[in-house]
Chains A and B, each alone.
Chain A
Amino acid sequence: MNLVNLNLTEAVELVKRGELLAEELVLAYIKHIESLDKQIKAYLTYNFDRALERAREIDQKPAKGKLAGAIIAIKDNIITKGLRTTCASRLLENFIPPYDATVVERLETEDAIIIGKTNLDEFAMGSSTENSAFFPTRNPWDLERVPGGSSGGSAAAVAALEAMAALGSDTGGSVRQPAAFCGVVGLKPTYGRVSRYGLVAFASSLDQIGPLTRTVKDSALLTRVISGFDRRDATSSSEPVPDYVANLDAKLESKKIGVLKESKLKGINKEVAANYFASVEKLKELGFEIKEMSFPSWEYALPCYYVIAPSEASSNLARYDGVRYGLRVEANSLAEMYLKTRTVGFGSEVKRRILLGTFALSSGYYEAYYAKASRARQVITQEFKTAFEKVDFIITPTTPGPAFKLGEIQDPISMYLQDYFTVSASLAGVPAISIPSGFSSDRLPLGLQVIGRPFLEDKLLNFVFLLEKKLEFKNNISETIKYQRKEEE
Chain B
Amino acid sequence: MKIDLEHICRLANMELTEEEKLPISMQMEKIVEWVGQLARLETGTEERYSPVDFSLRMEEDQVQPSLPQEEVLAMAPEKEGDFIKVPKVLTGK
A372 touches B52 (CB 8 A): no
Residue A246 CB within 8 A of the other chain = no
Q: Tell me if B12 and A354 are in contact (CB < 8 A).
A: yes
Q: Is residue A381 contacting chain B, with contact meaning CB distance below 8 A?
A: yes
User: Is the beta-carbon distance between B86 and A323 smaller than 8 angstroms?
Assistant: yes
A462 CB to closest chain B CB (Å) equals 23
Q: Is A47 an interface residue (CB 8 A)?
A: no
- A337 and B86 contacting across the interface, CB-CB below 8 Å: yes
Known: A191-B51, A352-B24. Is A343-B14 also a contact (CB below 8 A)? Answer: yes
CB pair A304 B50 closer than 8 Å: no
Given A322-B77, A323-B84, A356-B31, A351 contacting B38 (CB threshold 8 A): no
Please determine whether A98 and B77 come into contact, CB atoms closer than 8 angstroms: no
Q: Is the CB of A303 within 8 A of B86?
A: no
Whole-angstrom distance between the alpha carbons of A318 and B13 in the complex? 8
Contact between chains at A338 and B41 (CB < 8 Å): no
Q: List the A side residues contacting B44 at CB < 8 Å.
A: 375, 378-379
Interface of B, secondary structure class, is loop
B47 engages A334 (CB within 8 Å):
no
Residues on A with C-beta less than 8 A from B91 are 332-333
> Among the listed A99, A351, A374, which residue makes an inter-chain contact with B24, where contact means beta carbons less than 8 Å apart?
A351
Other-chain contact of A379, B41, B56, B57 (Cβ < 8 Å): B41
Q: Is the CB of A205 within 8 A of B50?
A: yes
- Inter-subunit contact A235/B54 (CB<8 Å): yes
- Per-residue CB contact flags for chain A residues 199-238 toward chain B (1 = under 8 Å, else 0) read 0000001000000000000000000000000010011010
Pick from B15, B34, B42, B57: contact of A413, CB below 8 A.
B34
Contact B31 A98 (CB under 8 A): no
In the complex, which range does the number of interface residues on chain B fall in? 35 or more
Q: Which residues of B contact A371 (CB under 8 A)?
A: 47
Q: Is A67 an interface residue (CB 8 A)?
A: no
Given A328-B77, A372-B43, A303–B35 Cβ distance below 8 Å?
Answer: yes
A404 to B68, CA, bound (A): 47
Q: Between A and B, how many residue pairs show CB distances below 8 Å?
A: 173
Contact B87 A334 (CB under 8 A): yes
**Residue contact A413 to B30, C-beta cutoff 8 Å:** yes
Inter-chain contact A300/B8, CB cutoff 8 Å: no
The closest CB in chain A to the CB of B57 belongs to A234
- A338, A351, A354, most chain B CB atoms within 10 A: A351
Listed by A's residue number, 11 A-B pairs whose Cβ atoms lie within 8 Å are A98-B67, A304-B38, A322-B77, A323-B77, A332-B88, A333-B89, A348-B23, A359-B32, A374-B47, A375-B44, A378-B48
Which 7 pairs, one residue from A and one from B, show the smallest C-beta to C-beta distance? A429-B51, A328-B77, A375-B43, A374-B47, A325-B75, A378-B48, A191-B51
B interface residue numbers (CB < 8 A to A): 3, 5, 7-9, 11-17, 20, 23-24, 27-28, 30-32, 34-39, 41-52, 54, 56-57, 59, 67-68, 71-72, 74-78, 84, 86-89, 91
Given A356-B32, A378-B43, 5 additional A-B pairs, CB 8 A: A324-B75, A339-B13, A362-B7, A374-B49, A375-B47
**Could you tell me which A residues sit within 8 Å of B by CB distance?**
95-96, 98-99, 191-192, 205, 231, 234-235, 237, 297, 300, 303-304, 306-307, 314, 318, 321-328, 330-334, 336-339, 342-343, 346, 348, 351-352, 354-356, 358-360, 362, 368-369, 371-379, 381, 411-413, 427-430, 454
